[in-house]
Amino acid sequence: MHWLDVQQIAEALEDAHPDVDPMTVSFPALRALVTSLPGFAEQPGHPSNERILEAIQAAWIDERS
């Protein structure tokens, strides 16, 4: 799993952190949560950026509802 696996990351975040409100997570905190997920590995040429973090946060919010 890497930064472009937005839906998979959102599902993993929901499983790993059901007590965290995705609407209140800052991007630095979200980045830390994602990089700590089992099976996550950054790939060269695919770094995180604000657009990817926004997509992950939105998918996590959708996963929650």
CATH number at residue 33: 1.10.10.600
Token pair of 45 as six digits: 């040429």
Q: What's this model's pTM, rounded to 2 decimal places?
A: 0.94
As a whole number, the mean pLDDT across the chain is 96
Q: Which residues have a Cβ under 8 Å from the Cβ of 52 and sit 6 or more positions away?
A: 3, 4, 6
Quick check: is 56 in a domain? yes
pLDDT of 26 > 90? The answer is yes
Provide the pLDDT confidence category of residue 45 given band limits of 50, 70 and 90.
confident
Counting the structural domains of the chain, the total is 1
Domain span at residue 32 reads: 6-64
Quick check: is 1 in a domain? no
Quick check: is 60 in a domain? yes
Q: With contact defined as beta carbons under 8 Å apart, do 56 and 6 qualify?
A: yes
